[in-house]
């Protein structure tokens, strides 16, 4: 970028919803309600799958970790967004921006792997039911989950360091509600082609490959289900996958659209898979899972019973 003035950047400006000055208070209330809903809904899933004895299976162990991940995902972005809307101070330090970006991308990588693990769990349950508990031992599941949380950390830290080592131009306004990779690269000076290549490589490694694994699992699942003799068996098998498949579709479709976005809409798309999807996940798993519904009813009844005894 010849002729551009390079400056020592100590902070960025998150434009967010600054183009909607009359809606700041309204947006603050909306996002506050959404954030509290994410905490409440996913927190309830964690509590129920942890305490209900009928839900002590690998499937719900993965779901519990996934719900915790959704809380972390929203917490990385929403509180900062609420602060900006309330104070109208959109400045964010270079260090805070790098930290937010690093955490956000790390959680995104973890989500991809967890979704792949949940698909594999459904594959084993439906295609190899007699060997399910032999394959999905507790220590194996714990190892899978720990790997999902830490596998991408070194790569993401390296990518973040690479991005924030770039020189930045005079304009440090990020057209986004949080620090994301592409808005930061857009205000960098010089040639960013190598950085973009690294981003695409990471997307393939931590996004496309898990998606292919999920697709492979569901191809095998559908093939097995279609061979079942009874319609009732097929319906029951499909119902155990429907919640996860819905979440996978929501996450990957919006994530792909964001990375290959249409100009001017990337902000809303990123909000969708970082905020809207986490708030709907508990609803999806509750309404489409009879075991979770039953556990919730039992929890509410037992809780009410304890109150009455007091």
CB pairs under 8 A, 24+ apart, for 181-189? 181/101, 181/105, 182/266, 184/12, 184/97, 184/101, 187/12, 188/163, 189/1, 189/4, 189/6
Average pLDDT value for the chain: 83
Examine the pLDDT at 264 and tell me if it is beyond 70. Answer: no
Q: Where are the domains of the chain?
A: 11-226
- pLDDT for 121: 92
Examine the pLDDT at 302 and tell me if it is beyond 50. Answer: yes
Residue pLDDT, tens place only, 141-200: 999 999 999 988 999 999 999 988 888 876 688 888 888 888 888 888 877 888 888 888
Evaluate whether 173 touches 16 at the Cβ level (below 8 Å): no
- pLDDT for 118: 92
Examine the pLDDT at 297 and tell me if it is beyond 80. Answer: no
Mean pLDDT calculated for residue range 52-78: 90
- pLDDT for 3: 47
- Annotation: CATH topology of 11-226: Rhopdopsin 7-helix transmembrane proteins (1.20.1070)
Residue pLDDT, tens place only, 222-252: 888 888 777 777 777 777 777 788 888 888 8
- pLDDT for 310: 41
HSE of 212, CA atoms in CB hemisphere, 13 A: 7
- pLDDT for 262: 47
- pLDDT for 12: 86
Site of tokens 């949380």: 149
Number of residues assigned to the chain: 310
Examine the pLDDT at 299 and tell me if it is beyond 80. Answer: no
**pLDDT confidence tier of residue 1, bands split at 50, 70 and 90:** very low
């Amino acid at each position: 970028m010849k002729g551009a003035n390079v400056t020592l950047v100590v902070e960025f400006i998150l434009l967010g919803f600054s183009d909607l000055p009359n809606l700041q208070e309204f947006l603050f209330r909306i996002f506050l309600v959404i954030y509290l809903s994410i905490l409440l809904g996913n927190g309830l899933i964690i509590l129920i799958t942890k305490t209900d004895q009928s839900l002590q299976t690998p499937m719900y162990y993965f779901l519990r970790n996934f719900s915790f991940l959704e809380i972390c995902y929203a917490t990385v972005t929403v509180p900062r967004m609420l602060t900006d809307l309330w104070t109208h101070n959109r400045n964010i330090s270079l260090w805070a921006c790098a930290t937010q970006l690093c955490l956000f991308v790390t959680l995104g990588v973890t989500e991809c792997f967890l979704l792949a693990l949940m698909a594999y769990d459904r594959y084993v349950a439906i295609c190899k039911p007699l060997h399910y508990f032999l394959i999905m031992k507790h220590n194996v599941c714990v190892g899978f989950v720990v790997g999902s949380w830490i596998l991408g950390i070194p790569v993401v830290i390296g990518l973040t360091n690479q991005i924030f080592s770039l020189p930045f131009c005079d304009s440090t306004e990020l057209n986004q509600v949080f620090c994301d990779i592409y808005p930061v690269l857009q205000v960098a000076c010089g040639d960013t082609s190598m950085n973009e290549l690294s981003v695409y490589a990471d997307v393939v490694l931590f996004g496309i490959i898990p998606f292919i694994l999920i697709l492979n699992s569901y191809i095998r699942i559908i093939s097995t289900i279609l061979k079942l003799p009874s319609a009732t068996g097929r319906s029951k098998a499909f119902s155990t996958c429907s919640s996860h498949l819905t979440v996978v579709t929501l996450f990957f479709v919006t994530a792909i659209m964001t990375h290959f976005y249409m100009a001017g809409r990337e902000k809303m798309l990123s909000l969708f898979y970082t905020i809207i999807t986490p708030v709907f996940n508990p609803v999806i798993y509750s309404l489409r899972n009879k075991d979770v519904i039953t556990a919730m009813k039992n929890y509410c009844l037992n809780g009410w019973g304890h109150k009455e005894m007091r």
